[in-house]
Each structure stands twice: as structure tokens, then as C-alpha cells.
Amino acid sequence: MDPYLSVPMLSSSSAQSFPVLITAPLYDTVFTAGGLAIVTWTEPRSPTISQITLTKGPINRARPILVVATEINSEDEKFTWRIPADFPTGDDYAFELGAAPNATYTGYFIIKSLSDRLTFLNTSYRASVANSLAPATFQLHTRALKLITACASIAAGTAFFLT
């Protein structure tokens, strides 16, 4: 099974109809608690999607956590959900679009806490600043060395003339 594609819920029913083809979120997409999770799709097969449910756990044992919306206009091909700021972190969340046996799932995605995200950004910022300052520091040292060498040469030349 390709984790980057949406996964239809398997059923023994031959009359399955998946509500849409999901295009996002893809596997390992990272969302931040307090931020927005955007679900997109193409090829709607009916005017509405009965519900969008947040699930957690392996696809064959996914537990419904929260129904985030009902009766979504499928022609919009997009749904946005604001993740509560205090939402639990995890790396095995997925959205179920529709209801069994006519449901399809997004790829697994990650929800990080705001503090995890800020720590990541702070670490990335510090690394970025350090990397951008390193060449400037090297240039400063090179220029200082050239200045010291020039001063030493002048001083040595002056000392030569004084003797």
C-alpha cells in the first residue's frame, strides 16, 4: 500500500462508492495545534460528503476521534478545520471522508503542539543565523588579519627608517 495516496475503506460490499479522490493531506504532512488543517480532493461523486471524521491509529483499526464536519459541499473540493490549540500531538491521524462502507481516508498526518513547532522554528532560526553569520565572521577575521599584517609592515618599515 502506498502511504502517499488516499486509502479507501475496504469492505466486502460490491456497491462501494468512494465520495472523492483525496489530494491532501499527504502522508507525513505536519499540522500545528491551533493552526489550520486543509483537506483537498478532486472528482466528487455526489453533491455532498456526509461527514469528515478525524481518526487515529492504523487504518484497519482507526478509531474515530471527532466528527469535524457534516454535509460538506463536495463541489468546493476543499475543507479547512481549525485544530484546537490544546489538541493532543500524534503521528497517526487521518481524516475519513464519508461513512463506511463508502469512505476514503487521507494519508497519515502529524499534529504537533504549538510549543513543539516554536522549538523547531527557534532551532531552525538559530541554525540559519549561525550559518549566515559564519561567512561574515570569517570575512571579518580575514580583514582583521590583513589590517594587522599591513600595520606590522608599516611599523617594520618605520622602524627600519628610524634606525
CA 117 to mean position of chain CA atoms:
10
Residue 53 sits at φ, ψ, to 5 deg, of: -120, 135
Average pLDDT over residues 16-41: 92
Between 58 and 161, residue with greater pLDDT: 58
Q: Could you give the CA distance from residue 74 to residue 5 in angstroms, rounded to a whole number?
A: 19
Residue 42 has pLDDT above 50, yes or no: yes
Q: What does the chain come to in residues?
A: 163
Per-residue confidence (pLDDT) for residue 56, from 0 to 100:
97
User: pLDDT for 80-127, tens place per residue?
Assistant: 999 999 999 999 999 999 998 889 999 999 999 987 656 655 665 665
pLDDT on residue 18: 82
Dig out the grid coordinates for 122 from the structure: 527557534
pLDDT for residue 10 = 40
pLDDT value at position 101?
86
Nine-digit cell at 76? 468546493
pLDDT in tens, 133-160: 545 444 545 555 465 555 455 544 544 4
Contact 112, 90 (CB under 8 A): no
Give residue 158's identity as a one-letter amino acid code: T
